[in-house]
Protein backbone atom coordinates (compact mmCIF):
# COMPACT_ATOMS: atom_id res chain seq x y z
CA UNK A 1 0.00 0.00 0.00
CA UNK A 2 1.72 3.23 -1.13
CA UNK A 3 -0.19 5.18 1.54
CA UNK A 4 0.99 3.06 4.47
CA UNK A 5 3.63 5.10 6.27
CA UNK A 6 5.01 2.02 8.04
CA UNK A 7 6.27 0.63 4.71
CA UNK A 8 8.42 3.71 4.10
CA UNK A 9 9.44 3.97 7.75
CA UNK A 10 10.63 0.36 7.79
CA UNK A 11 12.41 0.76 4.45
CA UNK A 12 14.17 3.88 5.75
CA UNK A 13 15.23 2.02 8.90
CA UNK A 14 16.58 -0.89 6.87
CA UNK A 15 18.50 1.41 4.55
CA UNK A 16 19.88 3.30 7.53
CA UNK A 17 21.12 0.04 9.05
CA UNK A 18 22.97 -0.98 5.88
CA UNK A 19 24.45 2.47 5.37
CA UNK A 20 22.30 3.60 2.46
CA UNK A 21 21.77 6.97 4.10
CA UNK A 22 20.72 8.97 1.04
CA UNK A 23 18.05 6.40 0.20
CA UNK A 24 16.91 6.27 3.84
CA UNK A 25 16.62 10.06 3.91
CA UNK A 26 14.40 10.13 0.81
CA UNK A 27 12.15 7.45 2.28
CA UNK A 28 11.80 9.05 5.71
CA UNK A 29 11.19 12.46 4.15
CA UNK A 30 8.23 10.95 2.29
CA UNK A 31 6.80 9.80 5.61
CA UNK A 32 7.33 13.18 7.28
CA UNK A 33 6.27 15.41 4.39
CA UNK A 34 3.49 13.41 2.77
CA UNK A 35 2.11 10.84 5.20
CA UNK A 36 2.89 12.45 8.58
CA UNK A 37 1.69 9.88 11.12
CA UNK A 38 2.43 12.22 14.07
CA UNK A 39 3.91 9.42 16.14
CA UNK A 40 7.45 10.79 16.52
CA UNK A 41 9.13 7.69 15.16
CA UNK A 42 9.81 9.12 11.70
CA UNK A 43 11.50 12.20 13.17
CA UNK A 44 13.57 9.91 15.39
CA UNK A 45 14.71 7.87 12.39
CA UNK A 46 15.61 11.03 10.47
CA UNK A 47 17.59 12.31 13.46
CA UNK A 48 19.54 9.04 13.58
CA UNK A 49 20.31 9.42 9.88
CA UNK A 50 21.58 12.95 10.54
CA UNK A 51 23.77 11.66 13.38
CA UNK A 52 25.32 9.04 11.13
CA UNK A 53 25.82 11.66 8.41
CA UNK A 54 27.81 13.72 10.92
CA UNK A 55 25.17 16.37 11.67
CA UNK A 56 24.24 16.05 15.36
CA UNK A 57 23.13 19.70 15.49
CA UNK A 58 20.62 19.09 12.69
CA UNK A 59 19.37 16.04 14.57
CA UNK A 60 18.44 17.94 17.74
CA UNK A 61 15.21 19.58 16.52
CA UNK A 62 14.10 16.21 15.16
CA UNK A 63 14.83 14.46 18.47
CA UNK A 64 12.90 17.22 20.25
CA UNK A 65 9.88 16.87 17.95
CA UNK A 66 9.99 13.11 18.37
CA UNK A 67 10.22 13.41 22.15
CA UNK A 68 7.37 15.94 22.24
CA UNK A 69 5.26 13.55 20.14
CA UNK A 70 5.61 10.92 22.83
CA UNK A 71 8.18 8.67 21.19
CA UNK A 72 9.96 7.42 24.33
CA UNK A 73 13.35 6.37 22.81
CA UNK A 74 13.92 9.94 21.63
CA UNK A 75 14.46 11.31 25.12
CA UNK A 76 17.68 9.40 25.76
CA UNK A 77 19.04 10.34 22.34
CA UNK A 78 18.07 13.97 22.88
CA UNK A 79 19.89 13.96 26.22
CA UNK A 80 22.94 12.31 24.70
CA UNK A 81 23.36 14.55 21.63
CA UNK A 82 21.59 17.80 22.43
CA UNK A 83 22.35 18.73 26.04
What percent of the chain is predicted at pLDDT more than 70?
A: 100
Give pLDDT, residue 6. Answer: 93
Q: Band of the pLDDT at 42, cuts 50, 70, 90?
A: very high
Q: What is the mean pLDDT of residues 22-50?
A: 96
Q: Alpha helices, DSSP H only, in the chain?
A: 5-17, 21-30, 41-52, 56-68, 73-82
Asked if pLDDT for residue 83 goes beyond 90, the answer is no
Give pLDDT, residue 38. Answer: 87
Amino acid sequence: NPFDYAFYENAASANYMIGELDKALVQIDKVINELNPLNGKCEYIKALIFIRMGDPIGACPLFETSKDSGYVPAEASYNQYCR
